[in-house]
Structure 1
Amino acid sequence: MIYKIYPLVVFLLLSFGKDSKNTTELKTATTKSIAKVEKVAIDVKIENTYNALKSNNFALPELKIFSEALKGFYLLKERGAIQKDILTLIDFSLSSNTKRLWVIDLSSNTILFQSLVAHGRNTGEEFASAFSNSNSSFKSSLGFYATGEIYQGKHGASLRLDGLERGVNDNARERGVVVHGADYVSESFIRNHKRLGRSQGCPALPVELTNEIIQTIKNKSCLYIYHPSRSFAMEEKLFS
């Protein structure tokens, strides 16, 4: 009888394997479909948020950069790495002679500030082009940060930053990369030198705006520094 039962067992095993494979493929396809739907939903949500921004007569950041920043914001908020509905966006693809920093209140969809902001002296002249996470590099670091506490430093009131991307900006606190005011961040400096002044790697602000901005963004809000030279995978780099 064994010769009659054996083919049946083989058939059942093969059929089970086939069903298992089909089930796995179905699950994979379903997961991909759900992820695609979620991505579309997030993209629509972000575009709607962008279109509803109250500009306060400030220029809007580019949609692509705003979208990347907001996706990171959502992820970091979910993980508890940030707590406030405040997003600070810096676009280092722009000339340092332009106002390339935005502070956005996402709870009211309002742009609160648009400002000049300096990059590191070894990051470039008028345009930012080279970045580092290393001590004494005098270069800016890209990516997502959580804002920290205010302290009084050599530039007056300053705001500590915690880099949230391994190998990209997670040495920020150790390096002393902070938000502070500087007199070389001004329209008059641009007129006299044809470009904005540069920092030792800090996102330095105009003196007259510093206190108001750091009071707004302090204590676990999201700051994102963008540059097109970098490809970015949030899920792999961000941590809480």
Structure 2
Amino acid sequence: MVELKTETELAVMREAGRVVATALATVREHAAPGVSLLELDTLAAQVIRDAGATSSFLNYRPHFAPTPFPGVICASVNDVIVHGIPDGYRLRAGDLVSIDCGACVDGFHGDAAVSFTIGPPSAADATLIEDTAAALAAGVAAARPGGRLGDVSHAVGEIGRAAGYGIPQGFGGHGVGRRMHEDPSVPNEGRPGRGLPLRPGLVIAIEPMFLAGGRDRFVTDPDGWALRTADGSRAAHAEHTVAITDDGPVLLTVV
């Protein structure tokens, strides 16, 4: 069931989104050669705790997962697309890192992700990250009242396919609210003019995931969580929680 949020509920989600944005900014600021993914997870946990919020990710167990998620961030490095478990791996210069984070305030969630490199990016990594961010921006711009969900999916997928990237099938955006994952599903490809009508009060996470090798195939790590490109190529992921309003799309996961 798709639930439309009230102005009061959107205000609470805006607070949850600020916590997420602050946690992501803190992690990115401290991500450097020699820093472990566990250390970044601890930093994000402190930001969430200091804000009086709770983690949306810690102990979360969706239907596909064999175990509850053990961290407050997903930390996906190089060929890991999404859902990387933060562990003792220490970052190295040139790594491409995607950090996904969720926080809950007064029963409502925010969810966002960002990709960046440790130190200056290669030309290929810079283009991959920029294109993924551009696809997110295009999806957000299409999230307007009177449109259709397919408009959002088409805007994301058009950029990815035009650039020759792979797009992992079965994974994409989703509704956000009292649960981190709600209806509707927001695929990263679709047909414009089709799908759910976009109405004020609908809140969705738009999250393009692009695979540099151009193939859609991925494999799941033995931990049952991390998705990895099947060809070993790099991946990037970007995400915002977006409210559809009478005045157009509003980003909730910004400071």
**Fold match (TM-score > 0.5):** no
Q: Which has the higher contact order (CA 8 A, sep 6+)?
A: 2
More helix by share: 1
Larger Rg belongs to:
1
What is the TM-score of this pair, normalised by structure 1?
0.31
Q: Which has the higher strand share?
A: 2
TM-score by length of 2: 0.30
